[in-house]
Amino acid sequence: GIQVEQSPPDLILQEGANSTLRCNFSDSVNNLQWFHQNPWGQLINLFYIPSGTKQNGRLSATTVATERYSLLYISSSQTTDSGVYFCAVGTQGGSEKLVFGKGTKLTVNP
Amino acid sequence: GAGVSQSPRYKVAKRGQDVALRCDPISGHVSLFWYQQALGQGPEFLTYFQNEAQLDKSGLPSDRFFAERPEGSVSTLKIQRTQQEDSAVYLCASRDTSYTGELFFGEGSRLTVL
Interface of B with A in 19-38 (CB under 8 A): 31, 33, 37
| Backbone angles phi and psi of A91, in degrees to 5 | -115, 160
The pLDDT mean for chain B works out to 94
Asked if A30 reaches chain B (Cβ–Cβ under 8 Å), the answer is yes
Residues of A in contact with B99 (CB under 8 A): 96
Residue B96 pLDDT grade (very low, low, confident, very high; cuts 50, 70, 90):
confident
pLDDT at A41: 87
Sign of the alpha-carbon dihedral angle for A102, A108, B4, B10: positive
Q: pLDDT tens, A3-54? A: 999 999 999 999 999 999 999 999 988 899 999 998 888 899 999 999 999 9
pLDDT at B98: 65
pLDDT at B1: 53
A74 pLDDT above the threshold of 60: yes
Nearest Cα of chain B lies from the Cα of A30 at a distance, in angstroms, of 7
pLDDT at A95: 61
Q: pLDDT tens, B35-63? A: 999 998 999 999 999 999 999 999 999 99
Name which of A70-84, A87-101, B9-23, B81-95 the model is least confident about: A87-101
pLDDT at A91: 83
Q: What is the dihedral of CA B71, B103, B43, A26, to 10 degrees?
A: 120
B105, B107, B109, B110: best to mutate for the A interface, most A CBs within 10 A = B105
What is the side-by-side order of every strand in the sheet holding B65-68?
Answer: B5-7, B19-24, B75-79, B65-68
> Which run of H or E residues covers position A18?
none
